[in-house]
Amino acid sequence: MRLFAAAAALCVTTSALAAELRISNQNAANQGFNDTTAATPVGLNFGTTKGAQAVIDFQYAAAVWGAVLKSPVPIVIDAAFVTAAQDSNMTCNATTGLLGYTHPNNFVTGAELPNHTAGYVAALANALLGRETTPGQAHIFTRFNAGIGGATCLAGTGWYYGLDGVAAPGQASLLTTLLHEFAHGLGFTSFVNPTTGDNSNAPAIFDFHVFDETRQSNWAGYTAAQRKPLLTAGNELSFDGASVAAEAATYLSNQPVLDFAGGGAAPSEAQYLPGQFSGPVPDAGASQSIVPAAPLDACSDLTSTFNGSLALIERGTCNFYDKAQRAQAAGASGVVVFDNDAGSLITMASVDGGVPLDVPAVFITNNDGNAVLQRLDGGTVTATFGASSHLSNTDPAQTRVLLYTPPVASSGSTLSHWNAGSFPRTLLMEPFIGASTRLDLDLTPNSFADMGWPVVTGLSVGMSKAEAPTLSDGEEVKYLVAIVNRRTADVAGVQLDLTLPAGATFVSAAGLNAFACAALPCAVGTVTASSVLPLVVTLKAPSTAVFPFVVTAQISAPGTDANDNLSATISVDKTAAASSGGGGCSTGGVPAALVVLLAFGVAIRARRRPAVSAK
């Protein structure tokens, strides 16, 4: 098993330290990590080939999760990029395909676990028991499509490798995708067949937190016949847990809406998303009349007279930016574009560096747009920008967050994601509905805490050695550091320091927004609430280094307490020696009281259609 690098903390016997996630690759011919195509460093990712940048993204995602979770047992992730010839799941064409999929390798049950009737993913079982329950096996299995972006596989798409998570239109952030996918392997997954409702093994610990809103009960004890209709019922299933309930309002907000009135119909509201090129969208304001564009798709000169009204435009044919520009030039006070097909909300992308409009430009669904057209048949229609009175994607009590149960069940999507109504978009929403650019992990660690994971709730640090898992005497090496603030308040005065092996020297540290540090300790400054701050630290090994080469990252700030995890340690072997990836823990046999269940058929697939589109 090839280990790219050890990530997060040195494997020790106490659960007080952050978890260690190791990225392994057993596919010698994989097409992603070994890709020598030249690449320009972007978003703090310093790799100069696509393969190197992919490795760095994986290692940084491991550092982020390692900073948040606690476990004395390393978490091994079997990762590779594969072609359709190597994995038929990756078969695709120019318009549809699979970017990747992830599943936990095994579930573990036993009387020693807190809920002896539940199946725990192996990584969580290890964290709770303090020992390896599946010796010799990776804990998480993940595969990504090596053909993405080619002429015959989702042409025009591709991966964005920056560590800031902000992808350009047509690209998917590899980092945020990895944070999402790792979460499935760490436990955000059900063992229930979403098509039949059947559960051939013990319910996953996740299922003990799936709540039936109609019957007001947990569904872990339901029969397949009772579960099946709930899987396609819309907003009937939610996640029930004290930690999620306590933090729901921290990461979710009231959904922005347009309130419609007039046209001989009862008032209604429609959710919207502003375009990337939108002018300021008012939080609230006076009602404005709405006028359909002529032609309705606004792809040629408009004959409409808007006179300060909102323009209603149908998606299709030409790009969003050109449509909106024509409407603004024709006197529209704002632009409302509705989808030309059924689907979820998307973000309208700018094109060719287009400057923002002076007026708001928002997107609504096909159903909502057609409802407005029908209203207009009955007379004047007005629209008002506002916000829903209810916390988005929550139950009536606004404490349980709704799970994804679309009308057509999908083995790769249903249940194991937050529902489509989350605003702002959350990391564990189904990616093809709307890719998240958030690195803060939002509610995911809270759901993990409810399932039993030991979770850092304050300020924490994770670390990975970048690129190769070993080093040579005299080599200049880089480490990826993730400073994570899980508090709901900013933390000021944060500093980073390092404990280095004898003879090793600090070269520099770099971060986003031109942050640079040339001497230790580094004054990082304020880490905002619920955020992740990436840093790249460069060190110089001595000409004769002592191995293992052990580096500890330490952060400090005023007012830290027991909720914080302020250090992470990486141990590295010499390049010429066989590397274990940074140490190991007990891998004794599985006790008879524990049963390991193979996680067949629970792959979490990330089918993608663009959540950000130019047209």
Q: How confident is the model at residue 15 (pLDDT cuts 50, 70, 90)?
A: very low
Instruction: Quickly list DSSP for 469-530.
Output: SEE-TT-EEEEEEEEEE-SSS-EEEEEEEEE--TT-EEEEEEESTT-EE-SSSEEEEEE-TT
In this prediction, residues 177-182 reach a mean pLDDT of: 93
Contact 338, 314 (CB under 8 A): yes
Q: How many CB atoms lie within 10 A of CB 309?
A: 22
Place of tokens 């306590």: 246
Strands (E), 285-333: 288-292, 310-314
| Sign of the dihedral defined by the CA atoms of residues 30, 34, 35, 40, in that order | positive
Which residue blocks in 403-455 are alpha helix, DSSP H? 444-451
Please answer whether residues 14 and 67 qualify as being in contact, where contact means their C-beta atoms are separated by less than 8 angstroms: no
| C-alpha–C-alpha distance, residues 381 and 288, integer Å | 8
Residue 590 has pLDDT above 90, yes or no: no
First-to-last C-alpha distance (Å) of the chain: 44
What tokens does 299 get? Answer: 């792809």
* Cα–Cα distance measured from residue 236 to residue 404, given in angstroms and rounded to the nearest whole number: 9
Sequence-ordered list of residues with C-beta below 8 angstroms from that of 329, at least 6 positions apart, any chain: none
Contact 243, 406 (CB under 8 A): no
In terms of pLDDT, which residue wins out, 168 or 108?
108
Question: What global pTM score does this model have?
Answer: 0.87
Q: What does the pLDDT read at residue 472?
A: 94
Rounded CA gap, 25 and 27, in Å? 6
* Local structure of 205: helix, strand or coil: helix
13-27, 212-226, 306-320 — which is least confidently predicted?
13-27
Question: Is residue 281 within 8 Å of 306, Cβ to Cβ?
Answer: no
pLDDT at 596: 59
What is the rounded distance in angstroms from the CA atom of residue 533 to the CA atom of residue 353? Answer: 27
* Distance set, CA 453 to CA 1, 67, 98, 192, 205 (Å): 27, 13, 30, 21, 11
Q: What totals of helices (H) and strands (E) does the chain contain, helices first?
A: 8, 35
User: What pLDDT does residue 411 have?
Assistant: 80
Length of the chain: 615
The 10s digit of each residue's pLDDT in 447-482 is 999 999 999 999 999 999 999 889 999 999 999 999
Q: Left if phi > 0, otherwise alpha if psi is -120 to 50, otherwise beta: which for 329?
A: alpha
User: How far is 604 from 602, CA to CA, in rounded Å?
Assistant: 6
pLDDT in tens, 109-143: 999 999 999 999 999 999 999 999 999 999 999 99
Cα–Cα distance measured from residue 29 to residue 456, given in angstroms and rounded to the nearest whole number: 37
Query: What is the 3-state secondary structure of 454-476?
Result: CECCCEEEEEEECCCCEECCCCE
Query: Under 8 Å CB-to-CB from 261, ≥6 apart: which residues?
Result: 267, 287, 381, 382, 384
Euclidean distance between CA atoms 79 and 33, whole angstroms: 10
Task: Determine whether 289 is exposed, middle or buried from the number of CB atoms within 10 Å of its CB (0-12, 13-18, 19+).
Answer: middle
Q: Which two tokens stand for residue 338?
A: 């509705």
Question: What one-character DSSP code corresponds to residue 363?
Answer: E
Examine the pLDDT at 274 and tell me if it is beyond 70: yes
Residue 154 gets the label, from left (phi > 0), alpha (psi -120 to 50) or beta, of left
pLDDT tens, position by position, 229-262: 999 998 899 999 999 999 999 999 998 999 999 9
Contact 596, 133 (CB under 8 A): yes
Compute φ and ψ for 542, nearest 5 degrees. -70, 165
Query: What is the spatial distance between Cα 311 and Cα 308, in angstroms, rounded to a whole number?
Result: 9
> How far, in Å, CA of 330 to CA of 275, rounded?
19
Q: Can you tell me the distance from the alpha carbon of 466 to that of 46, in angstroms, rounded to the nearest whole number?
A: 10
For range 357-384, the mean pLDDT: 95
567-574/459-465 β-pairing: unpaired
